[in-house]
Chain A
Amino acid sequence: MQTEDLRDVRTEEFELNMGPQHPSTHGVLRMILKMDGEKVLHCDPIIGYLHRSIEKMAESRTYTQFIPVTDRLDYCTSMTSNYVYVMAVEALGDISPPPRAEYIRVIMSELNRIASHLLWYGTFCLEIGATTPFLYAFRDREKVLDLFEMTCGARLLYNYLRVGGVSRDLPPNFLKEMIDFLDYWEPIIPEYEDLLDQNPIFYNRAQQVGVLTPAHANRFAVSGPSLRASGVSYDVRRADPYSVYKDLKFEVPLGKNGDVFDRYRVRMEEMRQSAAILRQCAELIPSGKFIDLHNWRFTLPAGEVYKHIESPRGDIGCYLVSNGGDKPWRCKFRAPSFVHIQLFRELIKDVLIPDIMAIAASFDIVLPETDR
C-alpha cells in the first residue's frame, strides 16, 4: 500500500475484555480495557467473582468455628489471616496468650511471609516471561511448607492459631529444622537476584514502569511492600508493634522510585529481614505453655475493636463487633489487595499490554482476599 493510502485508514478505540479467566490474574480478576492499538487508555477492574460471603459466614459461627474460614481469606498467607482475626477476638475478650505462643505466632507469620514472597517471586517472573525463577522459588517454598506440615499437619490452610494461643506446640526438632532451612536458604537469595538483576531485559520491563508516587499511594491507602517501594516507611510491625515485634531487631527496607523494579527489590530485602527475625525468635523463644484457654465456646463482652497486622501483602485489618454473644455480630476484614486493585484504574493507563501484567503482578494481588 502507498503511504497516502495508509493515511486514509480509519482507526478507532476498541474495548478489550481481559479475564476473569486469565492465567496471570491469580484468581479471577476481570479488566475491561479501552485500547488504542496496543496502548491501554483506560482500565476498569471488575471484582467479585470469588465472593464467598466470608463476613456473613462469621455471623453464624462461634468465635472458634470461624478460625478455619479465615484461612480462606488469603490462601498464600493463611497464618496472617488467622492471626489478625484471633488478635481482634483476644483484644475484645481481654485474653493474652502465653509468651511462647506469641513467639510461635511470630515465627509462623514470618515463615509465611517467606513462603508468600517466594510464591510472588516465582509467579511475578512467569508473568514477565521468565520461567526459570519459578522453579527455583517453588523448590524452596516447598521446604517452608514442609515446616508448616511438621507443625500443624497442613501445607496450605493451616487453622493453627487459637484464641489464647496456638493449637499445638512446636514439634521437638522444629527449631533445628528451621535453622537448617535458613542456613540452606539465605545463601540462595543472591541466586534469585542474579537471575533478574543481571538481566537487561528485566530492567527494561521493570524500571520506570507503573510508578507510584507517595502522594498517590496515600490517596489510595496503599500499604505493605508496595507502599514502602515508594519510599514511605509504614510497616505495622514498626508503626503499631504487636506481639513481640518490639523486642526484635529488623530493618524496614525502602525503595525510591516506586516502580515495578523497586517493588521487586523491597520484597527481596524483606525476605532477608524475615530470616533475621526467625533467627532471633529461635534464640529468644521461651518454654512454657502454648495455650491458656481451654473452653472453645465462650462469649465476649459487647464492644468493637479494630486490630491490624502486617501481612506479606500489606496492612490487613479486622474490625470485630460483639454484642455479647458467642458469635461475632459483625466481622469486617480490611484487605490490602482490595485497595491495590483499585489503584489499577490510575496506574494502568498509557501503557502497553505486556506492562499490564508486570504492574498487576508487582502489587502481589490475591483475589480471594479482595472478594472475601
Chain B
Amino acid sequence: MKRADFLKKLQERWPESIQDERNENGLEVPAQAIPEALAYLRDDPETRMNYLDFITAVDYPPDTMHVIYSLYSLDKQHRVQLKVKLDRFHPTLATASHLWTNAEWNEREVYDLFGVVFPGLSDPRRILMPEDWEGHPLRKDYLHPNLASKPD
C-alpha cells in the first residue's frame, strides 16, 4: 500500500488525518486517535502492520513536540510513519505497549529523553539516563548541568 491508501483508510475513521508535508512516507493523525489508530492499522487485514520499527520524538520550540511511530508489515512489506503533534509543555500520549511489546522500551526512551508521559505504561522508569537525572536531554532547551554552572 502507498501513503495515499493509508491516508484514505485512516480518514474514514479519523477525518482530521492529513499527509505529512515534511516526510514523503508520513501521515499526521490527531493525538486522540492514539492508540486506536495504531491498533486499527495493526489488525486491519489490508494493512497488517505487525512490526513496530521504533517510536521517537522531535522537539520544536517554542510550543510543539512531535511523536513519530514507524510501522512496518512483514506480510505486506509496506511501511508508514505516523506523526502526532503534542503540546510541548504537557506532552501526554496513550501507551501502545499492549499492541507491540517493544513499544514499552521505546516509550520509556521517549519519556527519558523528551519528557513525553505515557499513562498506562507498566514500567515508566527512565531507561538510558540515571534514575535521579533531572531534565530531558534531547529537548532543545536542555542545558547540561556542567555547562549551566560554567561562568561566561
Where the two chains meet, the residues of A that have a C-beta atom closer than 8 Å to any C-beta of B are 47-48, 51, 53, 55-56, 218-221, 232, 234, 239-240, 302-306, 308, 315, 317, 319, 321, 329-330, 332, 334, 338-339, 342, 346, 371-372
Contacts and interface: CB of A to CB of B under 8 A. Distances in A.
B81 A48 contact: no
B130 A48 contact: yes
Contacts of B50: 218
Given A232-B74, A302-B22, A319-B68, A218 B58 contact: no
B23 A304 contact: yes
B19 interface: no
A371 B20 CA distance: 29
A319 B70 contact: yes
B64 to A, nearest CB: 13
A23 B59 CA distance: 38
B40 interface: no
A47 B131 CA distance: 11
A329 B138 CA distance: 11
A240 B53 CA distance: 14
Contact of A221 (B79, B81, B100): B100
A308 B127 CA distance: 24
Q: How large is the interface on B (under 10, 10 to 19, 20 to 34, 35 or more residues)?
A: 20 to 34
A306 B81 contact: yes
Given A306-B70, A319-B56, A342-B101, A218 B25 contact: no
Contacts of B56: 319, 330, 332
Nearest to B130: A48
Contacts of A234: 74
A55 B138 CA distance: 8
Given A334-B53, A339-B102, A48 B58 contact: no
Contacts of A55: 113, 138
B6 interface: no
Contact of B54 (A317, A321, A329, A330): A317
Contacts, number: 84
6 contacts: A51-B129, A240-B79, A306-B70, A317-B54, A321-B22, A342-B104
Q: Which of B23, B59, B74 has the most CB of A within 10 A?
A: B74
B102 A334 contact: no
Contacts of A303: 22-24
A220 B103 CA distance: 8
Nearest to B105: A342
Given A48-B129, A306-B53, 5 more contacts: A51-B128, A219-B101, A220-B101, A306-B25, A315-B53
A330 B100 contact: no
A219 to B, nearest CB: 5
Contact of B137 (A53, A304, A321, A329): A53
Contacts of B58: 304, 321, 329-330
Contacts of A308: 53
A349 to B, nearest CB: 14
B77 interface: yes
A371 B128 contact: yes
A239 B77 contact: yes
Interface in B28-84: 50-54, 56, 58-59, 68, 70, 74, 77, 79, 81
Nearest to B21: A303
Contacts of A315: 53
B138 A221 contact: no
B115 interface: no
A305 B113 CA distance: 21
A332 B51 CA distance: 18
Contacts of A342: 101-102, 104-105
Interface string B107-146: 0000001000000000000111110000001100000000
